[in-house]
Amino acid sequence: MGSRGRRAFLIGGLGVVAAGAVAGRDSIARGWWLLPGVRKPRQEGALDHAGASWSAASPANWRLADRPDDYRVDRIVIHVTQGDFASSVEAFQNPWHKASAHYIVRQDGHVEQMVRELDVAFHAGNRSMNERSIGIEHEGFVTRPQDFTDALYAASARLAADICRRYGIPADRKHLLGHSEVPGADHTDPGQHWDWDRYLRLVGELLR
């Protein structure tokens, strides 16, 4: 996700554009079948991960797709919000933000889904990676290792294992990567305090 300052600026416009965001979401929901290549029906509030809750991101922050039929899903990109959970949800609901992720994992282990997996979230700053990946945000700051709690690691690992199982994604560092590792990325998340060895071990154990 972008810098803390940019998020604060973008969130400030939320009230002005809220009505437009709702109207845009409703029009897309009604007209999905008119778009070429998009065939799968969508039900508002439907979840891809059983342990999640739903809050819809603004349709300005993601793109309708028909994955994995139109784009193969073979990557998971790990992000850190650089802000708290509530401000991150608000940012993804703000059409001026122009970014979102499929999921946000809170420090207490709660998982919020904001974009359906069949659709393309604007999370990686790279079109090809967006089209082939699921984006998972984690509440916290890259400079604060205490933000990466046991509950956060456990919930994210369950989510990642579920995604890997459903799409046949190997649970390794080639297929689970940080935002900073996306080609062309100018972000530093998840940063040096993210424990990749621990994370991959947890995911792998759940896939056995």
Instruction: Kindly state the DSSP code that residue 69 receives in the 8-state scheme.
Output: T
* pLDDT at 23 > cutoff 50: no
CA nearest to 22, candidates 53, 40, 44, 2: 44
Report, as an integer, the average pLDDT of 149-173.
98
> Does 10 or 128 have the greater pLDDT score?
128
pLDDT score for 140: 98
Give the distance between the most distant pair of CA atoms in the chain.
Answer: 49
Q: What are the pLDDT digits (tens) for 58-101?
A: 999 999 999 999 999 999 999 999 999 999 999 999 999 999 99
Q: Would you please indicate which residues are annotated as catalytic (active-site) residues?
A: 137
* This prediction's pTM: 0.84
pLDDT score for 28: 41
CATH architecture of the domain with residue range 4-207: 3-Layer(aba) Sandwich (3.40)
* pLDDT at 5 > cutoff 60: no
Q: What are the pLDDT digits (tens) for 106-139?
A: 999 999 999 999 999 999 999 999 999 999 999 9
Count Cβ atoms within 10 A of the Cβ of residue 87 and give its class: 0-12 exposed, 13-18 middle, 19 or more buried. middle
pLDDT score for 1: 63
- Work out the pLDDT band at 20, boundaries 50, 70, 90: very low
CA nearest to 157, candidates 129, 194, 183, 123: 194
- Work out the pLDDT band at 32, boundaries 50, 70, 90: very low
pLDDT score for 38: 74
* pLDDT at 175 > cutoff 50: yes
Q: How many Å apart are CA 22 and CA 58, to the nearest integer?
A: 8
Q: Rounded to the nearest 10 degrees, what angle do helices 14-31 and 85-93 cross at?
A: 60
Q: What are the pLDDT digits (tens) for 123-132?
A: 999 999 999 9
The domain segmentation of the chain, as residue ranges, is 4-207
